[in-house]
Amino acid sequence: RSRLEARWAVFFDAAGIKYEYEPEGFEFYNWETADTDRYLPDFYLPSVDAYVEIKPKSISKDDLEIAKGKMEQAVTKKHLGKL
């Protein structure tokens, strides 16, 4: 576990967001190498049925607002689907 991933785990815990750390890997066909590759996402958030990959990159305030909006839409859509 990287230090940045550990910080995100602390954030998810503090925010009350349930998560699974590196829950499962996926196999996919890589057209560039003509072979099968594996991908292991960092987190799975079951409340929004989303996988999260943590990368050490700063984002702009505009990108952050866009991401927040998409997350809110995903949460709303998931909860409305259960009504």
- Higher pLDDT, residue 3 or 66: 3
Nearest to 40 by CA among 5, 15, 78: 5
Nearest to 40 by CA among 56, 57, 52: 52
Rounded Cα gap, residues 83 and 78, in angstroms: 9
Residue range 51-66: mean pLDDT, rounded? 78
Tens of pLDDT, residue by residue over 67-77, are 677 666 655 55
Rounded Cα gap, residues 71 and 83, in angstroms: 19
Q: Indicate the pLDDT class of residue 35, thresholds 50, 70 and 90.
A: confident
Which ranges constitute the DSSP H helices of 1-83?
A: 3-15, 61-80
